[in-house]
A and B are shown apart, each in its own frame.
Chain A
Amino acid sequence: MSSTTNYILGVYDDEDEVLHAVSEVKSKGIKIEDVFTPFPIHGLDRAVGHERTRLPIAAFLFGVLGLTCALSLISYTMVFDWPMIIGGKDFFALPNWIPVSFEGTVLFTAFGLVTTFCISNNLYPGNQPDLLDLRITDDKFVMAINVDKNKKVSADDIKKALKDSGAIEVNVK
């Protein structure tokens, strides 16, 4: 989170309360940036209105890449560079190649997906996580509201809305 952004944080101490607070705050026309919780809460993604992840698209592209690489490698080595007769089959014996192509697809998809996930979430060795509130790793639930994205609602109204929805404290960061 860059320091130039202004956040108003509502801190809650109960998962049910935060789940209900999300719809309450949203009903006042306030856009919620994100909700941080120590553990997954069922239905929270949907309540906040997060868009579905685009990771499946990445998975498909990595899969296609893996399949292409595997087939290119096999066909280059087995057909063009050093043709070998194995079991009396054609050089271009597709059934023989299916297991390796499959493995190549899975390997590229798995590694590519984990890497994409880590990059898109800023997860890499040595990264110091920039937590909005340290207590979200323990027992508190924090709703973050980006002030710059809520021009229509004044900061005071946002704070009031958070308070009304059951926040035990409201902070600005």
Chain B
Amino acid sequence: MAGHSHFSPANVEEHFEFTSEGKKRVIYAFIAGVVALVLGIYLLSKGEAGGHEVANAGHDAVKAGHEAASEHLSGGAVSHQPAAEEHYDWTNRIWANVWLNAVFFTGIAVIGMFFVSLQYLTKSGWSSVMKRVPEAFPKFLYITLPILLAVFFFKGDAIFHWMHHGVTEVGSENYDKIIAGKAGYLNKTFFIVRLVGFFALWIGLWTVLRKKSLEEDLIGGTDLFTQLVRISTAFIVVFGASSSMFAWDWVMSIDTHWFSTMFGWYMFSSWHVTGLAVITLTILLLKDKGYMAYVNENHLHDLGKLMFAFSIFWTYVWFEQFLLIYYANMPEEIIYFLERWEGHNKIYKTSEILMVFLNFFFPFLVLMTRDAKRTRIFLKIAAFFIIVGHYIDFYQMIMPGVLGGHAGYGLVEFGMVTIFASAFIYIITDELTKASLIAKNHPFLPEAVHHDI
């Protein structure tokens, strides 16, 4: 514990190498995802849900990320309901999955920026040894932005009720008074302005932060630190507004009639705890490869505390939203939970229970003790299942509104999440190689290296 007494920044520079073997593995996972997706789409077009084929799916992809979500659920997978409703397009399930993963991974990417900004804003020392890891995450925003835009442009009406033809035109057979009343906010132009505008701010601020942070490695001093604090402050302000608005835009507006004033917080808390879990998992995997030796169990303890605390925060927000709606029992509000509990032949009930278990009870029990938070294997297990749990959380937010009774866990879901996860791993790992893993001239680095709790 006291092994760092002769700490000197000059000898801590550490460069991560993305080996060709590692690259190959991620690419194989990506290909496995594509194969699973194509097979899933083929089965869908034939009218099969592909829910029971999951067990045979490529095992080499298991290393890549979130596949366990599909594997776990394959038992409870629901087969395709006979199309009782009028004109349901089976391709919607593909677009809903693209949207779900784009939203989920955008969240993880932007939480990297949020985490770093928060550390600068609070002038925290302990996290400066690991800040290069979350700092790399926002790179993935370059991938999700075009995906979000493309889905919105080409298939927006498959996802958003408010984009259906004629819902805001008086006299149209689709005319919907409630949606027409929201048209001032929920219209194509304003949606695009918000999406592109906030993304530009996110990416812009990240680019500046990243540039200054790398500059600090070369010249040091405290001037750059002060500038970084200002950039971070600006980002926190932007993120405060944008995270809420994106929650309304991307997810809440799917169930256009329904609304919840807690929704911005709810989605943010889900993003945040997932991001923290991904940060922790990345650091642990880097440590397993022999990097980041200066991140000791004290830093891991803090990360564990953050995951523990924000799992409880997520539970608080989720339950608060549920309790108020349950208690008031107003038809226009309670429909949201009825759909996820009893509606659509109860196909969402299992995931809803599993989600609350994985996102609350599991991290609560696993991460409760001090020793667990300081033991790598416990942290790894907890982080992995938090990520899986919050993937299901987003699934529960998006699928009932888009697909209703036609959703399920099958090859399409499995393939899509594998594709996104391996792309995310590839992009982030590549970004990690571009800078020293330790910000060697960070003014608080000596404090962080001596962190002891």
Q: Which residues of A contact B (CB under 8 A)?
A: 42-43, 46, 87-88, 95-96, 98-99
Contacts and interface: CB of A to CB of B under 8 A. Distances in A.
A88 B2 CA distance: 62
A96 B327 contact: yes
Given A96-B327, A99-B323, 13 more contacts: A42-B452, A43-B2, A43-B452, A46-B1, A87-B328, A87-B329, A88-B329, A95-B322, A95-B323, A95-B327, A96-B323, A98-B319, A98-B323
A17 B452 CA distance: 20
Interface in B435-453: 452
A21 B178 CA distance: 76
Contacts of A87: 327-329
A46 B327 CA distance: 50
9 interchain residue pairs of minimum CB distance: A95-B326, A87-B329, A87-B327, A95-B323, A42-B452, A88-B329, A96-B327, A43-B452, A98-B319
Contacts of B452: 42-43
A98 B327 CA distance: 12
A106 to B, nearest CB: 12
Contacts of B327: 87, 95-96
B438 to A, nearest CB: 23
Nearest to A42: B452
A92 to B, nearest CB: 14
Chain A, interface SS category:
helix
B307 to A, nearest CB: 19
Interface string B2-36: 10000000000000000000000000000000000
Nearest to B322: A95
Interface string B302-340: 000000000000000001001100111100000000000
A88 B322 CA distance: 16
Nearest to B320: A99
Interface of B: 1-2, 319, 322-323, 326-329, 452
17 contacts: A42-B452, A43-B2, A43-B452, A46-B1, A87-B327, A87-B328, A87-B329, A88-B329, A95-B322, A95-B323, A95-B326, A95-B327, A96-B323, A96-B327, A98-B319, A98-B323, A99-B323
A151 B326 CA distance: 68
Nearest to B327: A87
A98 B322 CA distance: 12
Contacts of A42: 452
Nearest to B319: A98
Contacts of A88: 329
A46 B329 CA distance: 55
A152 to B, nearest CB: 29
Contacts of A95: 322-323, 326-327
Nearest to B450: A42
A43 B1 CA distance: 10
A3 to B, nearest CB: 38
Nearest to A86: B327
Contacts of B1: 46
A95 B337 CA distance: 14
Contacts of B323: 95-96, 98-99
Nearest to B2: A43
A42 B453 CA distance: 9
Nearest to B316: A102
Nearest to A60: B368
A95 B341 CA distance: 15
Contacts of B322: 95
Contacts of B2: 43
A43 B2 CA distance: 10
A87 B2 CA distance: 60
Contacts of B329: 87-88
A98 B319 CA distance: 10
A87 B326 CA distance: 9
B395 to A, nearest CB: 23
Nearest to A88: B329
A91 to B, nearest CB: 15
Contacts of B328: 87
Contacts of A46: 1
A112 B323 CA distance: 29
A105 B337 CA distance: 28
A87 B319 CA distance: 18
A107 B322 CA distance: 24
A156 B318 CA distance: 66
A54 B319 CA distance: 32
A42 B322 CA distance: 44
B367 to A, nearest CB: 14
Contacts of A98: 319, 323
A43 B452 CA distance: 8
A42 to B, nearest CB: 6
B361 to A, nearest CB: 14
Of B1, B2, B327, B329, most A-chain CB atoms within 10 Å: B327
B318 to A, nearest CB: 12
A88 B329 CA distance: 9
A134 to B, nearest CB: 31
A96 B188 CA distance: 40
A119 B100 CA distance: 54
A99 B323 CA distance: 9
A78 B323 CA distance: 18
A57 B319 CA distance: 27
